[in-house]
Chains A and B, each alone.
Chain A
């Protein structure tokens, strides 16, 4: 029995597709709307949720338990990546810890925290598409093998520097090179940094999440860096669309956008 690496390789189901979703943030009714409109997970329809399942929205418990149940049912066809909100510090401030204590108990929160520590940090689809929640690194030359070997379990929380932190926190920028992040954690990386990482690892592109976008997704860095965000009308105020990416075995990508569902408001 081997310890799973911190980067997981995914194949797209031969006669099906893989859907990549970004941040969900506890918006359970919008999350279920993804399945209602784009199809429920199955052995022919794999899903990758790229982190930030919890916090902000009021139904983080329902989102995470539904995802866990599907992961149990289809371990090879539903994938979960850790986001910067699958961490103790964020859960304390942005709602998940309080929600779990109100709906279950502190013990249950501690167990969720442990499950978050076990989640992989990145995925590679069909050897060509690198998927992680935040982005790239403060140095060039990082290999997929280095990411595989990150001791995520030993480290537990991502901390404030290093590969694990940068994977979860970094953002792309249009300017070449690197800059300090406005968030105060992680870095900003330019198109040249993306190109260098892709060439080092023989990859085609990066898909990341982590930032709300008006249309739910944005394609940057000469088409090599895509942001996908799946929480429409984020925090009930932003008015953005959500998006997802359907990828077929020939690596064709279909970008689907969607608006917030009404029932969520009725249920508040």
Chain B
């Protein structure tokens, strides 16, 4: 699907003050999830690129019968 590709190429602005996904490894860790929760508690938005990335991973995880894939 092209829209995945297009949006995943979005750059994250330097001014973005929320948690970041490591785009070298395409992994997240507990620190990211904790920072995400704090960010949301403060009524701030996650970057659109990361919302796309998280959702795409979940489609993959929920559809395939194995884990630790990304």
Report the separation of the CA atoms of residues A114 and B57 in the bound assembly, to the nearest whole angstrom: 12
Task: Indicate whether A32 reaches chain B with its CB closer than 8 angstroms.
Answer: yes
Report the separation of the CA atoms of residues A253 and B29 in the bound assembly, to the nearest whole angstrom: 31
Report the separation of the CA atoms of residues A69 and B65 in the bound assembly, to the nearest whole angstrom: 18
Residues of A within 8 A of B (CB-CB), count: 37
| Interface members, chain A 136-179 (any B CB < 8 Å) | 153
Q: Which residue of B lies closest to A77 (CB)?
A: B67
Task: Indicate whether B63 reaches chain A with its CB closer than 8 angstroms.
Answer: yes
Report the separation of the CA atoms of residues A103 and B48 in the bound assembly, to the nearest whole angstrom: 9
Q: Which residue of A lies closest to B7 (CB)?
A: A107
Task: Indicate whether B51 reaches chain A with its CB closer than 8 angstroms.
Answer: yes
- Chain B residues contacting A112 (CB-CB under 8 Å) are 55
Q: Which residues of B contact A (CB under 8 A)?
A: 3-4, 7, 28-30, 32-33, 36-37, 40-41, 43, 45-46, 48, 51-52, 54-59, 61-68, 70
Return 16 A-B CB contacts under 8 Å, by A number.
Answer: A1-B64, A2-B66, A3-B65, A28-B40, A32-B41, A65-B36, A66-B33, A71-B61, A72-B28, A73-B29, A75-B68, A107-B3, A108-B52, A111-B56, A115-B59, A118-B59
Q: Which residues of A contact B (CB under 8 A)?
A: 1-5, 28-29, 32, 59, 61-62, 65-66, 68-73, 75-76, 80, 103-105, 107-108, 110-112, 114-115, 118-120, 153, 267
